[in-house]
Structure 1
Amino acid sequence: MRVAPVGGTAVQDHVALAEIELCGELIIAASAAREERLSLESIDQVLRVAEERDTRAR
């Protein structure tokens, strides 16, 4: 069995980590909604879509 060496040689994929974080936030929001489905507006709010639009507009 090969194991990654210790010492900071692991490569991090920052895009993948950000996507995992957003998925986690969606799961939390969906579980808090209980029986209801999340609206598209709620999903956009969780994913911070408006913030991203503002950042890109600058």
Structure 2
Amino acid sequence: MHVAPVGGTAVQDHVALAEIELCGDLIIAASAAHEERLSLESIDEVLKVAEERTRGSGTGE
């Protein structure tokens, strides 16, 4: 069994950290909605889907 050494040698996985942050944002939004389900539009808003589509398309729309 290999155990990671103690100290400042941890490697940060930026993609995993971003996914964890997005999951946290969804949990907060779901908690704020109380007993209602989040709509697909609300989920897209929390995850900033439209911003990513705009950034990825290069059109700026």
CA RMSD between the two structures: 1.2
Aligned residue pairs total 56
Structure 2: unaligned runs, 5 residues or longer: none
Instruction: For 2:11, give the aligned amino acid.
Output: V
Q: What TM-score comes out, normalization by structure 2 length?
A: 0.83
Question: Shift of the alpha carbon at 1:37?
Answer: 0.2
The 4+ residue runs of structure 1 with deviation greater than 6 A are none
TM-score by length of 1: 0.87
- For structure 1, the residue ranges without an aligned partner over 5 or more in a row are none
In the alignment, is residue 4 of structure 1 matched against residue 13 of structure 2? Answer: no
Percent of aligned pairs sharing the same letter: 75
